[in-house]
Structure 1
Amino acid sequence: MKFLFDLFPVILFFIAYRFGTSNQDTAHALALEYMGGLIAGGSITPEQSPIILATAVGIVATVLQIGYLLVRGRKVDGMLWLSLAVIVVMGGATIYFHDENFIKWKPTILYWAFAVVLFVAQVVFRKNLMRKGMEAQIKLPDAVWDRVGYAWIAFMAAMGVLNLVMAFIVFKGNTSAWVSFKMFGATGLFFAFVVIQTLMLSKHMQEEPEDIV
């Protein structure tokens, strides 16, 4: 369930974009009616409307995601706040300038921001954030936790580069293909990374010591 909850904005972004491409006239009308005042010049072309609509939905979905946690009295992870800041800034720029390149940079900025936060915490402050988030579920030796942290730093950095390659080289001029990669390709890579890492860590997992009666 947490996996789906984390993907909530991405899923709605994908659905909104697909709706917009299949119903371009409706998407265009919705974008002009509800976001006309936020768009430079007050107008966009019908071809621009799907990404504008999807971006707005992604922003609202992230706000709702955080709002749900706050209403339930749950802690909002710092990374989620960072995600909100990035999508508001880059998504807002996408809508205002009606330029899809801004939202295409959003995943890379977020991946690299995560990598920097993890790196600074682990190297400068000697605080392994991955260990902090995962230690309640698994027990590992200190040296292995260090490798886990560096693995996530490298993975996030690589994902940032990959997003740029897919957005501006492989799928240049094909926003639909990039949106599909964002939904299925990037998500699949995250899932594969977690599975592979779990398998590799299984031999290092330590059992909880039994209580002595």
Structure 2
Amino acid sequence: MKMLIDFFPIAIFFLVYQLTKDIVLATAVLIPATIAQVLFTWWRFRKIEKVHLVTLALVVVLGGATVIFQNGDFIKWKPTIVNWLFGVAFLLSPLIGGKPLIQRMMEKNLSLPAPVWMRLNLAWVAFFMVLGAVNIFVFKTYSEETWVDFKLFGMMGLTILFILIQGVYLARHMKDPQHNTTDSGE
């Protein structure tokens, strides 16, 4: 259910854009949809993740600029800014919290050596930075309709691919639960 809530604003944006081919109107609908997402999340879970607050702020500011100035370029910058902010957060996380952000997110379910956590964290930094740059390339090079498709399907596809590659990388570092390291017969 949480994934559906997270997906709601972009699905509404995409649907309105596909029906109207009007990025300003789609953005005008995106703003209240994102507000509704955050309010529903608060009502349902009694907490709001920072990512939702950052996204909401950028949707309101850049979406508002899109609607006020009737210029879709403002909203096209949002994915780049969000991804670059995440990249910076992951990059600075070991300095601020003592541990890489990816470790803080996953360590309850996964035990890895410190250098592996750091490499994994840096991979996420690179991914976020590259994804932000690719967004700029797509919206500057291709049509608005192509960018809207890329925003939904391309970015999601690249993220899923990155997570799968990460899974393969992590599999090399995971210990076999059948393997008993306390056995003196080794």
Regarding TM over 0.5, the answer is yes
What one-letter code is carried by the residue in structure 2 that aligns with 1:82? Answer: V
Equivalent pairs counted in the alignment come to: 179
Residue matched to 2:173: 204
User: Kindly, what percent of the aligned residue pairs are identical?
Assistant: 40
Residue from 102, 107, 113 that aligns with 2:79: 107
Deviation at 1:196, TM superposition (A): 1.0
Deviation at 1:6, TM superposition (A): 2.5
Residue matched to 1:131: 103
Residue matched to 1:88: 60
What one-letter code is carried by the residue in structure 1 that aligns with 2:153? Answer: F
Structure 1 gaps, min length 5: 22-49
Residue matched to 1:19: 19
2:69 corresponds to 1:97: yes
> TM-score by structure 2 length?
0.88
Task: Encode CA deviations 1:82-139: one digit per residue, 9 max, x unaligned.
Answer: 1111111110000000011101111111111111112122245433221112223322
Q: What secondary structure is seen at the aligned counterpart in 1 of 2:112?
A: coil
Please tell me the root mean square deviation across aligned C-alpha atoms, in Å: 2.0
Deviation at 1:149, TM superposition (A): 0.9
Residue matched to 1:195: 164
What one-letter code is carried by the residue in structure 2 that aligns with 1:197? Answer: Q
> TM-score by structure 1 length?
0.77
Deviation at 1:142, TM superposition (A): 1.8
Please identify runs of 4+ aligned residues in structure 1 that moved more than 3 A: 1-5, 206-210
What one-letter code is carried by the residue in structure 1 that aligns with 2:89? Answer: V
Distance 2:95 2:126 in 1: 14
What one-letter code is carried by the residue in structure 2 that aligns with 1:204? Answer: H
Q: What secondary structure is seen at the aligned counterpart in 1 of 2:45?
A: coil
Deviation at 1:167, TM superposition (A): 0.3
Task: Encode CA deviations 1:35-90: one digit per residue, 9 max, x unaligned.
Answer: xxxxxxxxxxxxxxx11121122222221221112112342111211111111111
Distance 1:207 1:84 in 2: 42
Structure 2 gaps, min length 5: 181-186
